Structure 1
Amino acid sequence: MADRRRINGPVGTTLPPVYDSPPPPRNSAEKPENAIRKIFLQTGVTPSASGSAYLELVNPNPTGPSNTSLKLSCTVHGPRALPRSAPFSPHIILTTHVKYAPFATKKRRGYLRDSSERDLGVHLETALRGAIIADRWPKSGVDIVVTIVEGDQDRNTAENRREDGWDTMNVLSGCITVASAAIADAGIDCVDTVAGGVAALVAKDATSPPSIVLDPAIVDYHKIYAACCIAYLPTRDEVTNIWFKGQLPGADIMLYNNMVERCLVACRNANHVVVTALKKTINPEEEVS
């Protein structure tokens, strides 16, 4: 006999109805080519940690054909003393851990870290190592844990199942930015706030020539030739990590330099969000422009 008191949900995914006026044309809702997507950043979201931050990339057109979103949570534990059995270290020991939530992507993730998550952790550690003043805490350690609540993948269009890993560039950029805000919230001395930025060489359709865009939503483009993610210290004008993926047409070095320059523009825009969020943390009642 069936249980009449329980209402079973649908087997597949469903979308809620939107009772609103028709959305504007796609081109009018897209972000400018020289701008990044809007970022929501807030610190102090985890009281039990020494420092924490939450980052979310706001989709410029949530009712459009694609619906991508990036949501990251970062916690910082430490600095704390290393065990007595650990060898003496004149500087702080930095440990980074990046993990997708099981429901973060279309393909369900396992509970153990795979190779892509370990690569993200290595790049994140390299990016943050150049910003932290490590000799302030000898024989100490700090753990930085980034949880990817939602990856930058499209969940609505079933026909677009691109699984070539281009979205990891945007994920790494967000991890660098949110970890920088969490480290500052923990009170760890740094030479500067580090920010991540992404630029990609894409083609909008099969007939259009390739062009460089900032902070690309991967599913919105027909083909991605190459992508570059950079961790940048704006005040010191230093790059702490660079990750390039893909192949440029004709191996043009000038095109590579242009991609790097556009990445730095994205980093400066993201750093402005980090500085604004930290100022708001210090003076919550003061309006920060």
Structure 2
Amino acid sequence: MDRRRVNGPPGGTAPPVYLPPGRTAAAPGRTRGPNEIRKIFLKTGLTPSAAGSAYLELETPSINHSNSLLDRTPALKLTCTVHGPRPLPRSSPFSPRLLLSTRVKFAPFAARQRRGYIPDSGERDLAAHLETALRGILIGGRWPKSGVDVIVTVLEGEEDCPRDALATGNQNGRTGGWGMMSILSGCITVASAALTDAGIDCVDIVTGGIAAIVRQPAAPAQLVLDPCPPDHEEIIAACVIGYLQSRDEVTETWAKGNITALSDGKGTTKMGFDTLIDHAVEAAMAARRVLVEALKEGTEAKIQNSQAKPPGRAMGT
């Protein structure tokens, strides 16, 4: 044992960040309209070793447009790879349909609190929700006794509160895993793009959408699309869906929160679950437009690359 060596802390640490003189921490606030989603960057075909791949990044939310590191909140950055379809092992029983396996893994640097390499309960829950959303679009009968693996890696994930709350321990009740719901919405969209890039037969492309009921201090509750947890003082309820626009079907629904708290006391609910679902569908339809354009660009790039390759020579020449 080396007694002269000073061992570091077992967990991750963050350097202290100080405000300039005369400045205070910014209060949370949403700069977008209630029916406006963040800008989405989506691109396919970034991993040559995989059958299909995609990368998704959302616009970095900012409480205010300053240069202070304290006001910066993490964006959402996801990458997805699809491996297969490939034959199942001989020891496995016969399956007349394609077997889907999903996995969602956070990179160790994806959050301010470092995650381990063993999947935790949150990652397993996201993988289960993602499998349910994708199972409804696959035409599994065309791939008997085959399997496909969908792996989503979270390079940067959203959190429930900004850095100042994490540093001081005063989170003002803004906890509860709301950031995980935004991550699931992005996982559904990026996985659908990767499956299409892999050329796997699907009935339609599925996109994720999220809507939430939020409330600011001294203001009534309102419905917003694509909520960012650090931008809101309180999130009352939220709903994530996987939506097929051409078939008008919902393949996955995950809702949490207390919607009955919005009752006016006379038995009439101002904002019900159906209204929350409708707004989540609007967010999914807006994300679908970005997905369609990204798939068109990826297809055009594949056609150009195939035309640029020289024709192969015949045997014996």
TM-score strictly above 0.5: yes
Asked whether 1:266 is paired with 2:276, we answer no
Shift of 1:60: 4.9
Under a length normalisation based on structure 2, what TM-score does the superposition of the two structures give?
A: 0.78
Shift of 1:68: 3.0
Under a length normalisation based on structure 1, what TM-score does the superposition of the two structures give?
A: 0.86
| Aligned mates of 1:156, 1:145 — CA distance in 2 | 29
1:145-203 C-alpha deviation (Å, 9 max, x unpaired): 00000001265434564442110010000000000000000000111000000001111
The equivalent of 1:41 in structure 2 is 42
The equivalent of 2:127 in structure 1 is 121
Question: Would the aligned equivalents of 2:210 and 2:240 in 1 still touch at CA under 8 Å?
Answer: yes
Shift of 1:253: 8.6
The equivalent of 2:52 in structure 1 is 51
**Which ranges of structure 1 fall in alignment gaps of 5 or more residues?**
1-10, 16-25
**Which ranges of structure 2 fall in alignment gaps of 5 or more residues?**
1-12, 18-27, 304-317
Asked whether 1:148 is paired with 2:149, we answer no
| Aligned mates of 2:152, 2:271 — CA distance in 1 | 35
The equivalent of 2:243 in structure 1 is 232
The equivalent of 2:308 in structure 1 is none
Question: Would the aligned equivalents of 2:61 and 2:75 in 1 still touch at CA under 8 Å?
Answer: no
| Aligned mates of 1:92, 1:258 — CA distance in 2 | 35
Question: Would the aligned equivalents of 2:133 and 2:252 in 1 still touch at CA under 8 Å?
Answer: yes
| Aligned mates of 2:14, 2:115 — CA distance in 1 | 18
| Aligned mates of 1:93, 1:73 — CA distance in 2 | 22
| Aligned mates of 1:233, 1:60 — CA distance in 2 | 27
Asked whether 1:109 is paired with 2:115, we answer yes
Q: How does 1:1-289 map to 2 (within 5 A)?
A: 12-13=14-15, 30-61=31-62, 63=65, 65-153=71-159, 156-157=163-164, 158-159=167-168, 161=171, 162-205=174-217, 207-248=218-259, 249=261, 250=263, 252=269, 255-284=272-301
The equivalent of 1:23 in structure 2 is none
- SS of 2:272's partner is helix
- SS of 1:98's partner is strand
Shift of 1:276: 0.4
| Aligned mates of 1:82, 1:100 — CA distance in 2 | 27
Shift of 1:254: 5.2
| Aligned mates of 1:69, 1:48 — CA distance in 2 | 27
Q: Say what the alpha-carbon RMSD is for the aligned residues.
A: 2.4
Question: Would the aligned equivalents of 2:212 and 2:238 in 1 still touch at CA under 8 Å?
Answer: yes
Shift of 1:34: 1.0
Q: 1:253 to 1:57 in 2, by over 3 A?
A: same
Question: Would the aligned equivalents of 1:31 and 1:60 in 2 still touch at CA under 8 Å?
Answer: no
Question: Would the aligned equivalents of 2:43 and 2:56 in 1 still touch at CA under 8 Å?
Answer: yes
Q: 1:110 to 1:136 in 2, by over 3 A?
A: same
Q: 1:60 to 1:50 in 2, by over 3 A?
A: same
Identity among equivalent pairs (%)? 52
- SS of 2:77's partner is strand
- SS of 1:99's partner is strand
The structure with more radius of gyration: 2
Amino acid at match of 1:31: R
